[in-house]
Amino acid sequence: MTRKSKTQEMSDAIFPIHEQPVPAPREPVNMEAALDAMVGPAGEGPAKEPKAKRTPAMSVIAAIAEVGARRAKKQKALDDALVSVAGEEGLKVARKALKTNTSLASPGLTIGAVRDAFIGNMRASGNSESTGSSYNQDLGIAVATLGDVLLADLTPVQIRAYSTSAPVMAKGNGKPKAEPTFKKTRRVLRLALGYAHKALGFEGPHAEQLLAAAEEAL
């Protein structure tokens, strides 16, 4: 006769043999479904967790991050442009001016420097060589007439006087230029100042006054 273990004897004492619980039958495991749950159906790779629903707060955070990234990209482009025309020292001055809320025209930002940056940007943007040369010639008139002055020292009065000066209005032989020709020379200066304002950090009340004077002269 086989001797019962102590565990079996205790079980018999608590549950008589005819009253002992019968283990519930196990449900068969669907191995294919379990495998799909772990690695996804065949050909689809691992199962993906359901995407969390974006809340309004999450949308605001994402928008702020996007704005920050765009500002950083724009600031880098501005820094690169300033360095190209005014050097590292000019960039330092521009940053200092920004903190004190003054004009960002650095000591190195002259009409000639703006011309070089503006024409260089035109060519880099895919404009034809003839267009770049034509605009460069128009800005050469501005440099020769006004002098290679600092934008910070340029005045609206000088802009207005330049727009009706002999180099703008007349040919080298003294004959008057055609209206489309002298208007183009005025417009090119306005475009170059606008480029300095948008891309080279020439900002503030003084910049706005020069832009207004150039606009009036068109």
pLDDT for position 5: 61
Cα distance between residue 63 and residue 47, in whole Å: 30
- Model-wide pTM > 0.75: no
Given this model, what pLDDT does residue 105 score? Answer: 46
Segment-wise mean pLDDT, segments of 10 residues, the chain, 218 residues: 58 52 58 56 53 58 62 62 58 52 55 91 89 94 93 92 94 93 96 91 88 92
Predicted local distance difference test score (pLDDT) of residue 23: 56
Question: So what's the pLDDT on residue 193?
Answer: 94
Give SS3 for 203: coil
Specify the pLDDT at position 203. Answer: 84
